[in-house]
Amino acid sequence: MIFPYRHWSPDIDASAFVADSAEVMGRVRIGADSSIWYQCVLRGDVHDIRIGARSNIQDHCMLHTSHNVTPCVVGDDVTVGHRVILHGCEVEDGCLVGMGSILMDRSRLESGCLLAAGSLVPEGKILRGGYLYAGSPARERRELNTDEIAFLRTSASRYVALSKTHIIQPAK
């Protein structure tokens, strides 16, 4: 369901896919060819939530912010795995956030960062691009190899294609 909050209404590009069971409210902007999957909640009631182009927010994710602290920003070509919590953080272009991870206020993943499933990025922590991070708290494990860098580039584009099949044939 897509609905306003007070005087703010979501701004969703016409080419984006928002699953019918997702909840998108208030100060939310979703870019071209991005996708918001089933049972996601994007609650833009206390600050902005911005999703760039060709990014995917997979099933059961929660995006929110603290009261006027920082927005929740997802760049272009980002993959956010199932059941991730993004809270007042920034995920720059070309990142992958593994399933079940949590990113706290003012944390940031720099472009080209790979965050393993189940990781916790504490408040204010900045993770450098080009590296794999894992754990709770997330720690740098190693530099990404060429296959992983290529995977980051193709992951988001695969979800763009998949989302188009759901637009044509919505779930019932």
Output the pTM of the full model: 0.95
Task: Report the C-alpha gap between 103 and 113 in whole angstroms.
Answer: 13
Cβ(97)–Cβ(80) under 8 Å? yes
Average pLDDT of the chain, as a whole number:
96
In the chain, which residues have pLDDT < 50?
A: none
Q: Domains in the chain, start-ordered, CATH in brackets? A: 2-168 (2.160.10.10)
> Tens digit of pLDDT for each residue in 135-159?
999 999 999 999 999 999 899 999 9
**DSSP string computed for 91-146:** E-TT-EE-TT-EE-TT-EEPTT-EE-TT-EE-TT-EE-TTEEEETTTTEEEEEPPH
The one-letter code for the residue type at 25 is M
Which DSSP symbol is given to 8?
B
